[in-house]
Structure 1
Amino acid sequence: MVSEQLSEQRKVVVVGAGSGIGAATAAHFHERGDYVLAVDVRPNETPASRHELCDLRDATAIAALLDRIGPEWDLLAYVAGVPGTAPAADVLKVNYLGMRLFTTGMLPLLRQGGAIVTVASVAALGWQQRVDDLKGLLEATDAETVERWQATQDPNYPVYSTSKQAAIIFAKRLAPAAWQKYGVRVNTVSPGPTETPILTDFEDSMGKEVLDTVKAMVGRHATVADIVPVIAFLGSPEARWINAQDIHVDGGFVAPMSVGAPIEL
């Protein structure tokens, strides 16, 4: 029994494991017997095999961490994110640039058949219409370029939405090459409003009345227990032919915005 359990153990990196969806993701894999590396900017008590601290705004810190952890991983779950109430530069550095640097750096460290799952957001709705607008950001590979790009943008456009739009587009662009060169799949998960410690920050940045409307439409906000199984599935061998996809986990509230009013029953 012990040898069978060990043979099924996988090695998982969870970035943003200190709280919310990230903590729940790390705990999920830890509880099922996987070797979990929990990465966060702050010390935490999240159940895991190993903890590492990393400031995702710092490219040097990311590179040093990747050098320390070595190869032979099965899954990277990049769950780290800061809300739109944070400084714009930090939002873009953590939600987009840090994700980009971490995921590309992890590719050679993942086993063939491995996976990368990034948590995006339904706040990225409309990313298809912004591919050209985000060209400069998507070409940026360092913090200074990201900050210069943001300085030229409309300050009234939500930077959180921008960061998650860029994350989805980047993942979709990375996925074909990651699959062909490394045998690694790349997907994103886009939750709707979720009961986590930073939900009040989203109420401040997006408007509580907006989130209350979403809640009324589908009956409740999501919980981490609604989101984690989707991350786990996309990172599993069972999802072996799912690549370059963005999966909405929102209770269905986004759908009527693109296909029209719901059918009355």
Structure 2
Amino acid sequence: MGSDAGHRQAHPGRKELGSDTRTAAVVRSGVTPNGTTDFYTDSLYHDFRTVDGLRQHLDPTQDFFFDPRGGADSILSSIGQDLCTTGQPVDTVYFAAREKYLPDFLQALSQRSCHRQHITVVAGSDTAALDPKSLTGLGQQGEAPITVLYASLPSAAALRGRSNGDHDLYDQFITAFTANHHGRTFPANRAARGYWPVLAHDAVLTLTTAIRKATTPDTSFPNRYDIRNHLYALTNGAVPAATGRFGIDPTGNRSTTPITIHRLGITP
């Protein structure tokens, strides 16, 4: 994920937090379990620290890093407790780590010594891949009031809804997804489990659109420069994607991204 995409996730979050005075900490993991750089969480961390409306709440001394190769459970519990011992109570956490660690972190928050203080966790779009029931810390609203905010693509129901002007494109995607492919078929509910199937579809569609435009009778095998030229020329909704028509902007990112803010837990 590029930094621009991360910015588009973080930017709506600032509106949800409002203009209230907050004290925010960052919990981050910039590496994968294999020890390689995790560009997704790096992008989230960068944007949590730079997007106006988010960075203004940050306490620069409350920046917690964990390495998943060392085991996440114990360190997340320690971080949860550390949030109670800061000079100024932390009421907001920017979670720049993979969604698989979020349930354990919420559990740690629900067990910290100051667990009765409401806390808001702002997470990344991959939170959409979790079953809300797995966010166990949210179940103890009276004893441990926790709110989770995250931005992601609209749900499958929203994409196929009539309020989406490009719902027919999503329907076409589902038709193709469930069609017989060399004797293999996939049930429609697999496409609705998360946003990765539709994102993968739109990414491949974008590339094939550029390849087709770069392929002429004189250039039957376009090189990567031909393709890149045509990729950046995909403007004005040239890509009829399942998530809605879009073009490619000068930074190489899609020109429009439908974003929905999801709120789990209680409203403070």
Query: Where on the TM-score scale, by shorter chain, does this alignment land: which range?
Result: 0.3 to 0.5
TM-score, L = length of structure 2: 0.41
TM-score, L = length of structure 1: 0.41
Name the larger-Rg structure. 2
